[in-house]
Amino acid sequence: MTTLFISDLHLDAERPHITELFGRFLDAEARGADALYILGDLFEAWIGDDDPSATATFVADRLRVVADGGTPVWFMHGNRDFLVGQAFADRAGMAILPDPTVVDLYGKPVLLMHGDTLCTDDVAYQQFRAQTRDPVWQAQFLAQPLAARIAFAKQAREASKAHQSGLASQGTMETITDVAPAAVAAAFQQFGVETLIHGHTHRPAVHALDVDGRPRERIVLGDWYEQGSVLRVDSQGHRLEALA
């Protein structure tokens, strides 16, 4: 049997082929897996569990089929869908994991994160993250009319694009938006694990590291902007592969 890890699908109405690819992935693989872990940014944006979009309905219905078929579905908030709440989780049949979380993976403790907290050099983003994770801010935001929340999400996406464009023009995009080595080392030290799985950076790879004289492994999941990406793990090892 196999455990599946995905992240950074960024599903929305503007890329229906990716939503369809996700549906095929769920039907073909996820329904027979030991578990499915979604490590954040399942959606391009999330304005509240009352989101009436067809994409949200499609995802909830398809994930519910997977969960009802016996495959546990675990979800971790990302930087785009941190407002996914218990109501949507219940619709989709998935359980919400805190970030970070250590899970037992075939007898081995593995640290799971979305990955954005590791990008500590991006000070502007970390300040925004602290603001939007505040329960008071979230309650005030969710109390606004749906139209106002939709407008805010659009504005936030444009601000994110402008921020990244500014970093690119300064030549700092690659370093600031990637993980900071010190933050990665600190995570390994704090949790005492040998393996870390995360997304967020859209730089799929398997990194062999040395932290405090011990070999460690950092596995970065890929995004789904142009194609799919999945990490398959079983008792024999792991495979990080693209989906078309």
The reply to whether 207 sits in an annotated binding site is no
The reply to whether 202 sits in an annotated binding site is yes
The reply to whether 116 sits in an annotated binding site is no
The reply to whether 160 sits in an annotated binding site is yes
The reply to whether 238 sits in an annotated binding site is no
Question: Could you tell me the CA-to-CA distances from 99 to 107, 159, 211 in Å, in that order?
Answer: 21, 24, 21
The reply to whether 41 sits in an annotated binding site is yes
Q: Which residues pair with 208 in a beta bridge?
A: 217
The reply to whether 62 sits in an annotated binding site is no
Distance CA 173, CA 206 (A): 21
Q: Which residues are annotated as a binding site for substrate?
A: 79-80, 122, 160, 164, 200
- Residue positions forming the annotated binding site for Mn(2+): 8, 10, 41, 79, 114, 200, 202
- Annotated binding-site ranges: 8, 10, 41, 79-80, 114, 122, 160, 164, 200, 202
